[in-house]
Amino acid sequence: MADGEGDDGQGPATEAMDAAEAVVEAGAPAGPPGVLRERYTVRSGSPIPGLSMPNAEAYPAEDKRDPNRKLYALICPPGVPPRVNVMRAIKGVSSPGMQQLVEWGPMMWAPAGRQCMTVIYERPAGGRVIGSLRGDIRRIEDYDIGPKLIEPVCASIKELITRGITHRAIRPTNLYYMDEGGERIVLGDCVTSPPAMDQPLLFETIESGMANPMARGGGTHADDLYSLGVTLAILLMGRNLAGHLDDAALMRAKIQQGTYATLVGDTRLPLAMIELLRGLLCDDSKLRWDVESLDLWMQGRRLSPLQSRAGKRAARGFPFQGREYYYGRELAAAMARNWDAAVPPVLEGKLELWLRRAVEDKERAQAVSDVVRLSLGGGDKKMASDLVLCKVLMLLDPAAPIRFKGFNAFPDGVGTALAMLVAKRADTKPVVDCILKEIPKMWFEAQGEYQPDNSLMEQNFKELRGYLTQTGMGYGLERCLYEMNDALPCQSPLLGERYVVELKELLPALNAVAPANTDGKKWPCDRHVAAFMGARARSDIDRNLTALSDADAGKGLMALINLFAVFQYRLGPESLPALAAWIGSLAGVAVTEYHSREKRKELEKELPKLVRKGSLVEIYNLLEDTGAREKDRTGFEWAKAQYAAADEEIKRVQADDDERDKEADRAGRQMAAVTGILISMITVTIIVIMKVW
């Protein structure tokens, strides 16, 4: 893992670090240089630890058109979904307080043995402002912090606001001097990891800090301003007053005392700086300073920041896991950390009684009582009790993230969390249960006020629930994975080391791996490829996706060829000979659907020609010729009718032969009887005559 950012003492959670294992360690054997967009060369032999991010190694980069330009590249590990939407938004943007993102895209990276997302930045000449938050920190003087840091960073945040994105990686160890003299300070990378995943708890709001680092979501600009406030406090004081606290103790301190008191305490600062920090470190996002307030402060206007309260303190503490809790938010956080232990006191009514008597919050106590009373009864009792606790935690702290059996996430962070869990091959059941049990809907309802973005997300989760209930190819967990992560590359093992993000890249990638797969058994499609197509296609292809799982292999294959043919027609390229050969090796089941031996011979003769052309469109048209299929069907029906008629005639003839045999036998028997009688009569007559004579 990259160690460019020093140990902050408040490092990201273990899950974030585990996901970065795919990053090539410094000292890994160097291979040939990577080339991005046929212009930027990235050297793998000499990593730059001082510029590396927690989940992305830094390496020197060169611009072939301008060799004197100072650049460096960050290599993203395949298992960590980067913020491609932010890359698109800030590429080439020149802002005084932000590194310029020069270029980005997937690149073959020899040390990893596969394609990796690569981001090219302008290289800061002065390096990091701070390498670590431990010990004494080089402080910035009061008279310098405005022009050097606040003004340029505020300008950059405004730029991000106009583009509808957030930074979510503002911290002292992600600040750089762009010049050797240390006069220009800029914000560092914010795209190589999911939003706020690399942020130590110290720099996240109370609510965001409660979420799993991989599931914090994009957040708002108020979150960025809070991170800026923490950064300013540390740089102004020259030390981190909370450095001795672990994450649990830091969270308790923030909830009980407030962020300002926890981080600044009684430190003597100029009055203007105290005003600034109180405004930015307000724990209530509605009362926290925005960029307009920051502008007014920089213009010399003096404001009166409002400080939020921790909430009503109970008359007596709620005993839980050996501690006494006096605040509902603090108790909710403790219960979320100790899930199984929290269920009994909720179901037994102890929490309701505490809210009613110690907190004197009868309305909330009644809400808790109603949840317990209405949610239990019948079905899976364990799941029912888990849902009760989930709802109760929302009642205790509506602003907190969704908390369900150790999975803590904001709705817009669920997709990223799922991608990280899939990449690590970890248990995805909490995420699946969260979607199936419509927990995001409960969270939206708990917020109290209508927000258009929440309504849109609620509808998206409803669609995801529908995908999860279907088990065929193109649906299930894989479909949810790509629906919630529009920049996630296709995870199919069929694609090998290729980094396929957009639908137009899928067929060329399959064409590249096809020569090793034309054995007539393996399809050029698995659950990941099917789900990727379903999520990335702009038109409705669900009918064909459903047909992929048809019990009739011929119908399934034709549905797949139809999908590929449509994508080739719309997105190109014109020729895919290797993929066409792969399809051709499987086409036997489609050819045998024709009943005419002559038609089969014709198809077997024409198919190789189209395979050489590499046209999936023509292959599909050949195999799925409507006129030919109708003619074959009509001919087959006529042949069946003729066969049936001939069969009936044979049966009739056979029946007639049997009847004739019976008639002949009967006639023979009658003739024999008559003949016997005649012979008997003649014999008797002769005997009588002889006696007379």
Which sequence spans correspond to the domains of the chain? 14-298, 409-469, 484-624, 636-693
Structure tokens at 4: 């460019």
Cα separation, 232 vs 203, in Å, equals: 11
Question: Residue 250 — very low, low, confident or very high, per pLDDT cuts 50/70/90?
Answer: very high
pLDDT of residue 414: 97
Cα separation, 464 vs 479, in Å, equals: 8
Most confident of 103-107, 646-650, 669-673: 103-107
Interval 406-428 mean pLDDT: 95
DSSP 341-398: HHHHHHHTTHHHHHHHHTS--HHHHHHHHHHHHHH-SSS-HHHHHHHHHHHHHHHH-T
Interval 76-85 mean pLDDT: 90
Cα separation, 400 vs 347, in Å, equals: 21
Q: What is the pLDDT of residues 438-483, one digit of tens each?
A: 999 999 999 987 788 888 999 999 999 999 999 999 999 999 999 9
Assess contact for 103 and 112: CB atoms under 8 A: no
Straight-line distance from the first to the last Cα atom of the chain, in angstroms, rounded to the nearest whole number = 141
Question: Residue 24 — very low, low, confident or very high, per pLDDT cuts 50/70/90?
Answer: very low
Structure tokens at 667: 């006639």
Question: Residue 137 — very low, low, confident or very high, per pLDDT cuts 50/70/90?
Answer: confident
| Residues in Cβ contact with 36 at an 8 Å cutoff, skipping those fewer than 6 apart | 42, 73, 103, 105, 107, 118, 120
Assess contact for 87 and 104: CB atoms under 8 A: yes
Phi, psi angle pair for 68, to nearest 5°: -85, -10
Q: Which of 92, 108, 192 is nearest to 512 (CA)?
A: 108
Range scoring the smallest mean pLDDT among 2-11, 60-69, 638-647, 660-669: 2-11
Coil, helix or strand at residue 176: strand
Interval 46-73 mean pLDDT: 96
- With 90 as the cut, is the pLDDT of residue 491 above it? yes
Interval 506-518 mean pLDDT: 90
Range scoring the smallest mean pLDDT among 178-192, 235-249, 406-420, 594-608: 594-608
Interval 370-385 mean pLDDT: 82
pLDDT of residue 626: 63
pLDDT of residue 90: 96
Question: Residue 628 — very low, low, confident or very high, per pLDDT cuts 50/70/90?
Answer: low
Fill in the amino acid letter for 305.
P
CA-based torsion, 103, 131, 81, 498: positive or negative: positive
- With 90 as the cut, is the pLDDT of residue 630 above it? no
Q: Which of 34, 219, 162, 191 is nearest to 108 (CA)?
A: 34
pLDDT of residue 135: 75
pLDDT of residue 465: 96
pLDDT of residue 485: 93
**Peptide bond before residue 573 is cis, with ω within 30 degrees of 0:** yes
Beta-bridge mates of residue 114: 109
- With 80 as the cut, is the pLDDT of residue 627 above it? no
Most distant pair of Cα atoms in the chain: their distance: 172
Spell 620-632 as b/e; 16+ CB within 10 A means b. Answer: bebbeeeebeeeb
Range scoring the smallest mean pLDDT among 456-460, 517-521, 560-564: 517-521
CA atoms within 13 Å, Cβ hemisphere of 23: 28
Interval 489-512 mean pLDDT: 94
Averaged confidence pLDDT in the chain: 88
Give me the helices (H) in 101-220, please: 142-145, 151-162, 206-210
Interval 133-145 mean pLDDT: 85
Cα separation, 326 vs 487, in Å, equals: 44
- With 80 as the cut, is the pLDDT of residue 635 above it? no
Cα separation, 260 vs 589, in Å, equals: 70
Assess contact for 614 and 579: CB atoms under 8 A: yes
Cα separation, 646 vs 258, in Å, equals: 94
pLDDT of residue 636: 58
Number of residues in the chain: 693
pLDDT of residue 520: 65
Most confident of 38-47, 592-601, 635-644: 38-47
Reported as type and span, the H/E element at residue 530 is: helix 527-536
pTM of the model: 0.85
DSSP symbol at 24: P
| Residues in Cβ contact with 130 at an 8 Å cutoff, skipping those fewer than 6 apart | 6, 137, 138, 172, 173, 175, 235
Phi, psi angle pair for 446, to nearest 5°: -70, -15
Question: Residue 653 — very low, low, confident or very high, per pLDDT cuts 50/70/90?
Answer: confident
- With 80 as the cut, is the pLDDT of residue 647 above it? no
pLDDT of residue 596: 74
Cα separation, 314 vs 571, in Å, equals: 63
pLDDT of residue 595: 67
Cα separation, 307 vs 279, in Å, equals: 8
SS3 sequence of 425-453: CCCCHHHHHHHHCCHHHHHHHHCCCCCHH
- With 70 as the cut, is the pLDDT of residue 637 above it? no
- With 80 as the cut, is the pLDDT of residue 327 above it? yes
- Pick one of 1.10.510.10, 2.70.150.10, 2.60.120.260, 3.40.50.2000 as the CATH number of 14-298: 1.10.510.10
Question: Residue 67 — very low, low, confident or very high, per pLDDT cuts 50/70/90?
Answer: very high
Measure Cα distances from 386 to 218, 390, 472 in Å.
27, 6, 29
Beta-bridge mates of residue 120: 73, 103
Question: Residue 235 — very low, low, confident or very high, per pLDDT cuts 50/70/90?
Answer: very high
Most confident of 306-310, 532-536, 538-542: 532-536
Percent of the chain beyond pLDDT 90?
A: 69
pLDDT of residue 20: 38
Percent of the chain beyond pLDDT 70?
A: 91
- With 70 as the cut, is the pLDDT of residue 228 above it? yes
